[in-house]
Chains A and B, each alone.
Chain A
Amino acid sequence: MVMPDGLPLDEISRLLVWTAVAIYALAFIAYAIDLGRRSDIAIQQKDAAKQRELVGAVAGISASGSTARGGSLDEMRAEQQAAKAELEAPLARRTRYLWARIGTSLTVLGFLFHVAGDVLRGVASGRVPWSNMYEFALTGTMLIVAVYLVVLFKYDLRFLGTFITGLVVVLLGGTVIWFYTAVVPLSDPLKSVWLVIHVFVASLATALFALAFALSVLQLMQTRRERLAIAALSASDEAVAAAPRRRGLRFLRTLPAGDVLEALAYRFTIIGFIFWTFTLIAGSIWANDAWGRYWGFDTKEVWTFVIWVLYAGYIHARATRGWRGTRSAWLSIVGFAAVMFNFTIVNLFFKGLHVYSGLN
C-alpha cells in the first residue's frame, strides 16, 4: 500500500513513532524538572499557609507548637495527608505544577503520534498491529501510556510521569532501532481471533503492572523516609530530630504516605492480575487449537505462569502479617521485572513455540 506521494504507509508509521519517541523524551524532561521543583512549590505553599497561621495567631488563635520535639514527624504526616488529598483530588482542583502540566501535555501529544503510528502500521499490514515483537512493543507501550493517561483522570499520578515516559522512551526507542521488522503476511498459527484478544489483554495487564511497579518503588522510598524520621525522633539529639526533612529525595515530601501508595499499587495489581489470568486462559484455548494441547510448558508459557504465581504471591503477601508493606512491595517489583524479562529476554533468546518476534 503506497500513499500518493510515494511514501509507503509503513514508512510514515515509523516517522510518526519516531516523533512520538522524541516528544515522550521531552515529556520525560518536563516531568523530571517537575519532580525537582515540586518540593520547592510545596514549601512555598506551606510558608504561605504558615503566614496565614501567624496572622491567625495574632487574632488570638493559638498556633500549634510546631517547635516542639516531634514537630518534624507531625509535619511529615501533615504533608502526607495533604498529598493524599491531592492524589485523589478531582481534575479541576489539582495543584497547578507548571512543569507537570507541560509533561502531561507533551505525553498526550506524543500519545497521539504514537496512536497514529500504531494505527497506520495496522493499516499497512492489514491486520491488528501486534503480531511480531516490533508491533507488540509498539502497541504495548501505547497501552502503557493510555492506561497512565486514563488513570490520571481519577488519581493525580503525575509524579509517575518520569517513570512512565522514561520507560516508554527506552522500550519504544529500542524497539524502533533494534526490533523493526518489515510488514510480512501473518503466519498461519497467528491467524486466529485469539491473537486480538490474548495479546491485547496481556499488554493491558503489562501496563497496569508497570504502574503498580512504579508505585511500589516509591512506596519503598517513602517508607524508608518515614522509618528514618521515626528513628530520628527516638534519638535524643535535637539536631538529629530535625534531620528527616533532609533524608531521601526531596520530591518525596510531596507524595502520600507509603501505605497510601501501597493501597494504590495493590489496586492496579489486582486489575492487572485479572487480565493476566485471562491472558493465561485465552492463551491456553489458543494453544489447544494451534498446537494441539492447552498447556505444554513452552518457555513463554512457563514465564507467563511464573509471573502469575509471583503476583498471586504478592496478593497473598498483602494479606499475610509481616509481609504487608515493604516485603510485598518487593514482590511487586520482582513481578514486573519478570514481566519485562518475559517480554525482552525470553522473546529474543529462549527457544520455544512463541517464535513470533519476526527477528532472526
Chain B
Amino acid sequence: MGTKDCGHEISMSTPSAGEAGATGDWRTERPALDAGACLAVKQRKDACQLCWVYCPDVCIARGVPPAVDLSYCKGCGICAEVCPTGAIRMVADDEHAAPAAPGGARAAAGART
C-alpha cells in the first residue's frame, strides 16, 4: 500500500498516543521498579505517585504500583531521581536494539487504555 491512500497533502496527524511513532526505541536505559520498596504498594493505596507526576513523557500510569509504558519511555531517569524510597532503578535496556514495527506503538498504546 502506498502512502497516497492517507489523502494528506501536507503533514498532519491526529493528537493521540503513538502519533509520533514508537519513541521508546530511543531509549538506552529503562526504569526497573522494586515493587516491595514502592510507597503505594507498601501502603496499599494510591499514595506518592511522584513518578507519575514528574514523568515528562506522560508514559507512567497512576496505580499500585504505577506502570511504565515502555513504548514511549525514553529512559530519562527522572522517575528514579524523584522516587523517595529508591524503588526505581535505571537498568540497561536491550529492547531498543530492535526498532518497533509500524503499528507496534499503536498496539501498545491501545493495550494501555
Q: Do A and B come from the same complex?
A: no
Which residues of chain A have a CB within 8 Å of any CB of chain B?
none
